[in-house]
Amino acid sequence: MSKVVMHCHDLCRTFVEGALEVNVLRDLEISIHAGESVAIVGASGSGKSTLLHLLAGLDRPDAGIIEIDGESINQMGDRSLARLRNRHMGFVYQMHHLLPEFTALENVAIPKMIGGASREQAEEAAMVLLERLGLKERATHRPGELSGGERQRVAVCRALVMNPDVVLADEPTGNLDPETAQDVFQLMREVNAEFGVALVLVTHDKGLAFSMQTGYQLLEGKVVKEWGDGVGASFDG
């Protein structure tokens, strides 16, 4: 059985809006295994982004335990958490969130420099990924000079530059036309298979979701497994 890279249980998150309490996540449990590809689907407002933010340590739960690589992050201070996130996780959002004043190469290199690498090492690693994702000719362009699909591919490179155990992607292709979305998604799947990076994908696109090994639906604050036996399943459809 492959290693569990991310696990949470009894996870609760409630938002208070005036007099209204919204129990978005209620005793949720999920495990992500090394190299696994996971889709999380569910209605708008069901809590998918909330779950991803908690797993990433970008938000704190009201109750429950979150373990990254076997280590509980609940009691971790912000600095340790930032370090752990930098080492183990990559993110791709619906909006690319690239830094506008930096080139594609610099945007991809920055997490690596934050992780302690020299500028030279970081840019070398960044260039390898940009080439791999067909962006060699775009390395010196700023985000404003790139197409939507190119920006999202740069964002995928940035998510991968630290060789993370897991990439969390929240509607990564939501702003792209269907064809470009398919290209970006295909690259993410290749990276998942090739580098053994676990991929957790939130998407409204059923076609994309079904090409992941495991699928969960977020329903009434919990995840319900819809397909896949999780570990080691290979996708051949």
Ligand X SMILES: Nc1ncnc2c1ncn2[C@@H]1O[C@H](COP(=O)(O)OP(=O)(O)OP(=O)(O)O)[C@@H](O)[C@H]1O
d(CA 81, CA 58): 9
Interacting residue with ligand X among 33, 37, 50, 93 (CB under 6 A): 50
Q: CB of 115 within 8 A of CB of 89?
A: no
Interface stretch with Mg ion, choices 44-52, 108-116, 126-134, 193-201 (CB under 5 A): 44-52
Determine if 172 is a binding residue for ligand X (CB under 6 A): no
Tell me the CA distances in angstroms from 202 to 33, 46, 76, 208, one per residue in order: 17, 12, 26, 10
Long-range Cβ pairs for the range 112-121 (8 Å, 24+): 112/161, 112/162, 114/86, 115/86, 115/87, 115/162
Q: Please, which residue, 45 or 116, has the CB nearer to ligand X? A: 45
Interacting residue with ligand X among 9, 45, 63, 97 (CB under 6 A): 45
Interacting residue with ligand X among 47, 61, 64, 111 (CB under 6 A): 47
Determine if 48 is a binding residue for ligand X (CB under 6 A): yes
Interacting residue with ligand X among 9, 10, 22, 124 (CB under 6 A): 22
d(CA 198, CA 111): 19
Determine if 37 is a binding residue for Mg ion (CB under 5 A): no
Determine if 49 is a binding residue for Mg ion (CB under 5 A): yes
Q: Please, which residue, 49 or 203, has the CB nearer to Mg ion? A: 49
Determine if 107 is a binding residue for ligand X (CB under 6 A): no
Find the residue with minimal CB distance to Mg ion: 49
* Helix, strand, coil fractions of the chain, as percent rounded to 5: 35, 30, 35
d(CA 103, CA 35): 30
Min dist. Cβ of residue 217 to ligand X (A): 11
Tokens describing residue 100 = 């506008």
- Sole residue written with tokens 């005036």: 18
Number of residues that bind ligand X (CB under 6 A): 12
Note the residues at the interface with ligand X (CB under 6 A): 15, 17, 22, 24, 42, 44-50
